[in-house]
Amino acid sequence: MLAAQRAATSAGLDYYFPDGASFLPGIPSPEEFLGYPIGSFHTRHDQIVAYMKELAARSDRATYQEIGVTYELRPMPVLTVTTLSNHANLEEIRSRHLAASEPDGQVDEAADLPVIVHLGYGVHGNETSSSEAAMLTAYWLVAGTGEVEEYLREGVFFVEPNLNPDGRDRHTWWANLNRAEPLVADPLDREHNEVWPGGRTNHYWFDLNRDWLPLVNPESRARIDWHQSWRPNVVTDFHEMGASSTYFFEPSEPVGSWNPLLPEEIYTDITMRFADDWAEALDSLGSLYFTKEVYDNSYPGYGSTYPNFLGGLGLVFEQASARGHIQESTSHGILTFPFAIRNHVRTGLATVRVAVEERQALRAYQHDFFVSALDEAASDPVDGWIFGDPADVSLNRDFIDLLLRHGIEVYEADEAREVGAHTFEPGSAWVVPAEQPQYRLARSIFERTETFPDSVFYDASTWTVSLAYGMPDGEILGGGLPLGPAVTAVPGRTVPSVPRSSIAYLLDWRDSRAPRALQALQARGVRAEVSTRPFTAATVAGAVSLGRGAISVPVVAQTLDADALHAAVVEVSQEVGIPISAAASAYSVAGQDLGSRGFLPVHAPRVLMPVGEGLSGYEAGQIWHLLDQRVGMPVTKVDVSDVGRIDWSRYDVLVLVSGNLSFLEGPRLDALRGWIRGGGTLVALRGAAAWAARNDLTPNVGAPSVGRAP
Ligand SMILES: [Zn+2]
């Protein structure tokens, strides 16, 4: 125990690096820069950033850049490490590298190019050995002598030390504030049990390691822009797992965990070229590990799988976590933070070495990947996919944005097509041909996979993105593709200025930005009504058909005068980017008139959502993100420990997510029932819906016979 504690506080460069590693003078090691040995504290993101900048300032091998920014405005750093001469030609290297990967690229003429390696760390912010290993690995690349100099001639290395800055800082703060002297290894200690929601997720409690395909978060969008712009040959993804485990590296489980759209060669050949070296690196330390078990390699939204869809090799590494500085563990006795960090350093170093050794094979594989994509597309009975929602311009734009970010070719549809239940019309429909280099990614986005060779998954088992968007789409099977002009940017949307009306302003609810516009109007004190039926209004610009749920803003009975109301409507229309019509008459062209009883008042909801210990952070975060980022609606997140202080009269809507809801039982349940009877709206997700039914809050719906227990 004492020996372990000494290791935890005194691990120096000799501990982390193999015998014989040597470093240039004049470049500070992480310990020299930070003022403490790596592993003795958890390093904050701003310190990691500062160290990356210091390396770039002290060495002409390294340049520093920021590829994006998080919700909490933390930068997303990438340190580029290679020789001075590669740095001078970096843009040429990039364009030749990309050209060589294309199906018509000349891979033979790219033999002199360095291999492109992206070393990524810590997408889960509480898996903290990753980013500490990143600093040591960056130091080795920037200051290392001998073999490192050859690697830099033959490779361009991007070190992204922290893929989840907001999440990491939550855990780092927790681990340091509870750190004791002497260190406490008891798993029960507060240091090892972080406060809800923990550091795994980002600001809105999303798992960023599921977001590489849907790109909900700015971290992911910046990341995919970067990876698309480089198509790295090798991408690492360093994680941690439970303290009682050992270490995992690929190959992953062969049955059912391989993505069936990828060439099998990635698993049977390319990965295997590295595996012996990882084994050797850990064997030399006596570190135990496992392979071919547990971890899936199938969902393109994983950070270790998405790079495979760019013809690279994505690699997951999992280290047993000390989740703190030292912790008792059944497999390790005392598991120390430095021990965890060192394993990640060593597999990282081995990855660098093998990537350089195998650079020609990796480049040839990447080229073959895109050639075989075209071949497979040619033999696919699906010639392409057509999509588009004629009533939702915002959704179309968002979906096209997603496709373009993934490097997928999109064309305007130039003739009408009926596919399944949908009729797609030019002007509101687009076509994605199967025959394109990103065939596999496009197919992943549209294909409905309903049967699987193995029904046991690590987690994600389906990812049809068009369904997630609610986007009408269909497969084109024969008959040629109705290909109009290529779409190279998200179609612009000119929103005409709203003419003045003395009757009412009308907003179509079928546009997915309509809730944001309504919220913005109500925040300006505007009174609104909602239509319970579709109708065709007489507007200043002619007849406009509106769906059920359309919003009417009558000019009468507002607290704002007619001028101020018009100004507010114009402002919201431009700010949200959505057209708003000005009624010319209350007498509709078809359907109900604007004074009909089919319009009901709609009030801005005051939303309350319990969050905290025992509740699902993923579900709560998803709702929080939706209301904040998509709707612009404030939501009060009440901690479960403060539920006793709720004044129910202040809220109209209660959102409950899965988890332990016992804090609402007993006398509080009566208060909740009374609030619902008085007109309060309960929105219950998943397990919370079953809880609501069991507790007699849904008189029309019985308790489910199966369902997640609270
Ligand atoms: Zn992880």
Which pair of tokens denotes residue 708? 């997640």
Helix 45-58 with 165-177: angle, nearest 10 deg:
110
* pLDDT score of 543 more than 80: yes
**Span 545-566, pLDDT tens digits:** 999 999 999 999 999 999 999 9
Nearest to 651 by CA among 676, 684, 626, 630: 676
* pLDDT score of 94 more than 80: yes
Element at 367 (helix H, strand E): helix 359-379
* pLDDT score of 710 more than 70: no
Amino acid at 615: L
Instruction: Give the integer Cα–Cα distance in Å for 230 and 168.
Output: 26
* pLDDT score of 2 more than 60: no
Question: Ligand 1 center to residue 315 CA distance, Å?
Answer: 12
Question: Ligand 1 center to residue 130 CA distance, Å?
Answer: 10
User: pLDDT confidence of 456, banded at 50, 70, 90?
Assistant: low
Q: How high is the mean pLDDT of the chain?
A: 95
* pLDDT score of 130 more than 50: yes
Q: How far is CA 497 from CA 57, 249, 485, 575, in A?
A: 51, 57, 29, 11
Q: What is the per-residue pLDDT for 178?
A: 98
User: pLDDT confidence of 3, banded at 50, 70, 90?
Assistant: very low
Point out the least confidently predicted range of 47-51, 179-183, 252-256, 577-581: 252-256
User: pLDDT confidence of 462, banded at 50, 70, 90?
Assistant: confident
Amino acid at 610: P
Question: Ligand 1 center to residue 623 CA distance, Å?
Answer: 23
Range 39-53 average pLDDT: 98
Complex ipTM value: 0.99
Question: Ligand 1 center to residue 568 CA distance, Å?
Answer: 46
Element at 385 (helix H, strand E): strand 384-387
Question: Ligand 1 center to residue 428 CA distance, Å?
Answer: 40
Question: Ligand 1 center to residue 575 CA distance, Å?
Answer: 38
Q: Tokens 């409905």 belong to which residue?
A: 448
Instruction: Give the integer Cα–Cα distance in Å for 176 and 171.
Output: 9
What is the SS3 assignment for 64? strand
Long-range CB contact pairs, 567-572, < 8 A, 24+ = 568/521, 568/524, 568/525, 568/526, 569/498, 569/505, 569/521, 569/526, 570/497, 570/498, 571/524, 572/517, 572/520, 572/521, 572/524
Range 518-533 average pLDDT: 98
Question: Ligand 1 center to residue 414 CA distance, Å?
Answer: 45
Question: Ligand 1 center to residue 239 CA distance, Å?
Answer: 4
Question: Ligand 1 center to residue 303 CA distance, Å?
Answer: 10
Q: What is the per-residue pLDDT for 347?
A: 98
Question: Ligand 1 center to residue 62 CA distance, Å?
Answer: 28
What is the SS3 assignment for 248? strand
* pLDDT score of 166 more than 70: yes
Q: What is the per-residue pLDDT for 466?
A: 94
Question: Ligand 1 center to residue 549 CA distance, Å?
Answer: 42
Q: What is the per-residue pLDDT for 408?
A: 98
Q: What is the per-residue pLDDT for 708?
A: 46
Phi, psi of 117 (to 5 degrees): -125, 125
**Span 353-382, pLDDT tens digits:** 999 999 999 999 999 999 999 999 999 999
DSSP state of 590: B
Residue spans per domain, the chain:
2-369, 382-487, 504-602, 607-694
Q: What is the per-residue pLDDT for 707?
A: 46
* pLDDT score of 623 more than 50: yes
Give me the residues paired with residue 528 across strands.
Answer: 602
Q: Judging by beta carbons within 10 Å of its beta carbon (0-12, 13-18, 19+), is residue 678 exposed, middle or buried?
A: exposed
Q: Judging by beta carbons within 10 Å of its beta carbon (0-12, 13-18, 19+), is residue 23 exposed, middle or buried?
A: middle
CB distance 223 to 214 below 8 Å = no
Which pair of tokens denotes residue 432? 């994605």
Q: How many CA atoms lie within 13 A of 708 on its CB side?
A: 13
| Pairing relationship of beta strands 313-320 and 234-241 according to DSSP bridges | parallel
Nearest to 372 by CA among 315, 439, 306: 439
Q: What is the per-residue pLDDT for 326?
A: 95
Question: Ligand 1 center to residue 457 CA distance, Å?
Answer: 16
Question: Ligand 1 center to residue 451 CA distance, Å?
Answer: 27
Q: What is the per-residue pLDDT for 9?
A: 52
User: pLDDT confidence of 501, banded at 50, 70, 90?
Assistant: very high
**Span 307-333, pLDDT tens digits:** 999 999 999 999 999 999 999 988 778
Q: What is the per-residue pLDDT for 699?
A: 74
CB distance 364 to 107 below 8 Å = yes
Instruction: Give the integer Cα–Cα distance in Å for 66 and 135.
Output: 16
Long-range CB contact pairs, 261-269, < 8 A, 24+ = 261/440, 261/443, 261/444, 262/308, 262/309, 262/440, 263/368, 263/369, 263/372, 265/365, 265/368, 266/308, 266/313, 266/365, 267/297
Question: Ligand 1 center to residue 211 CA distance, Å?
Answer: 13
Instruction: Give the integer Cα–Cα distance in Å for 673 and 675.
Output: 5
Looking at 141-204, which runs of residues are DSSP E strands?
A: 155-160
Written as one string, the DSSP assignment of 7-57 is HHHH--HHHHS-TT--B-TTS--HHHHHSS-TTSSPPPHHHHHHHHHHHHH
Question: Ligand 1 center to residue 12 CA distance, Å?
Answer: 26
Bigger pLDDT: 434 or 702?
Answer: 434
Nearest to 409 by CA among 480, 488, 307: 488
Question: Ligand 1 center to residue 465 CA distance, Å?
Answer: 23
Range 333-356 average pLDDT: 97
CB distance 225 to 111 below 8 Å = no
Instruction: Give the integer Cα–Cα distance in Å for 131 and 43.
Output: 8
* Topology given in CATH for the domain delimited by 607-694: Rossmann fold (3.40.50)
Determine the straight-line distance between the first and last CA of the chain, rounded to whole angstroms: 40
Question: Ligand 1 center to residue 195 CA distance, Å?
Answer: 18
Question: Ligand 1 center to residue 200 CA distance, Å?
Answer: 8
Element at 66 (helix H, strand E): strand 62-69
Instruction: Give the integer Cα–Cα distance in Å for 360 and 687.
Output: 51
Bigger pLDDT: 701 or 306?
Answer: 306
Question: Ligand 1 center to residue 204 CA distance, Å?
Answer: 17
* pLDDT score of 511 more than 50: yes
Question: Ligand 1 center to residue 127 CA distance, Å?
Answer: 6
CB distance 383 to 478 below 8 Å = yes
* pLDDT score of 6 more than 80: no
* Topology given in CATH for the domain delimited by 2-369: Aminopeptidase (3.40.630)
Helices (H), strands (E): how many in the chain? 22, 27
Element at 364 (helix H, strand E): helix 359-379
Question: Ligand 1 center to residue 123 CA distance, Å?
Answer: 7
Q: What is the per-residue pLDDT for 458?
A: 64
User: pLDDT confidence of 705, banded at 50, 70, 90?
Assistant: low
Question: Ligand 1 center to residue 652 CA distance, Å?
Answer: 38
For the chain, give the percent of residues with pLDDT over 70: 96
* pLDDT score of 75 more than 70: yes
Other C-beta atoms closer than 10 Å to the C-beta of 88 total 12
User: pLDDT confidence of 418, banded at 50, 70, 90?
Assistant: very high
Question: Ligand 1 center to residue 624 CA distance, Å?
Answer: 23
What is the SS3 assignment for 209? helix
Question: Ligand 1 center to residue 152 CA distance, Å?
Answer: 29
* pLDDT score of 656 more than 70: yes
* pLDDT score of 192 more than 80: yes
